Amino acid sequence: MRRAELTALRVEDIQQREEHWVIADLIGKGGHIRTIPVPNWVKAGIEAWTAASGIAGGILLRSINKAGRVWGCGFSPKVIWGVVKEKANVCEIPALAPHDLRRTCARLCHQAGGELEQIQFLLRHVSVQTTERYLGCKQRFHNAVNDRIGIEPDPPG
C-alpha cells in the first residue's frame, strides 16, 4: 500500500471475499478503486493490534501516547516515512524509503512464482510496464521462457 492509503485504512475496509481476507474497495492513486488480498499472517497481525489497542472500528492505525493508550484519529503519511526510516536504520539499511517496500513486495511475489498480471493487480498499476520496471524484468534469450513449453518435437535420431 502507499503511505496515504495506509493512513486512511479503516477496520471496516478489511473484509472477506471469496473466502479470503481483503482490503475492499480501496480508493488509491488517481482515484482508482481496487481490492487487495491480505495474507492470513497479516490479518493475524491486524487482529493482534486491534485486540491490544481496543480499536473496534474507524481508522486502524492511530498514535499511542506516553501512557500507552491509543489517542487521536490517525496520523499522517509522514509518520509512516519516519517509522520506515527508523526501522531501516536499525537494520543498517540507510537508503530505504517506504516506496522501496512496494518494489520489494513485487519482487518477492515474482520470485515466489506470482504472475505478472496478478502482481500488477496487487500494486494497482494501470500499466503492466510499470510493474515490469518494479520487477527489473529483462528479457532473457538464453533459457528463454518459450524454449521448453511442452510442444517441442522429439529430437531427431
3-state secondary structure of 63: strand
Rg of the chain over all Cα atoms, to the nearest angstrom: 20
Domains contained in the chain, number: 1
Q: Which pLDDT score is estimated for 27?
A: 87
Is 1 within a domain?
A: yes
Q: Which of 41-50, 66-75, 83-92, 102-111 has the lowest mean pLDDT?
A: 66-75
Is 86 within a domain?
A: no
Separation CA 54–CA 70 (nearest Å): 8
Query: What pTM was estimated for this model as a whole?
Result: 0.75
CATH number at residue 66: 1.10.443.10
What pLDDT, in 10s, does the model give residues 11-56? Answer: 999 999 999 999 999 888 888 888 999 999 999 999 999 998 889 9
Q: Which pLDDT score is estimated for 48?
A: 95
Separation CA 154–CA 146 (nearest Å): 16
Residue 72 contacts residue 62 (beta carbons within 8 Å): yes
Is 118 within a domain?
A: no
Q: Which three cell numbers stand for residue 114?
A: 506470482
Residue 70 contacts residue 64 (beta carbons within 8 Å): yes
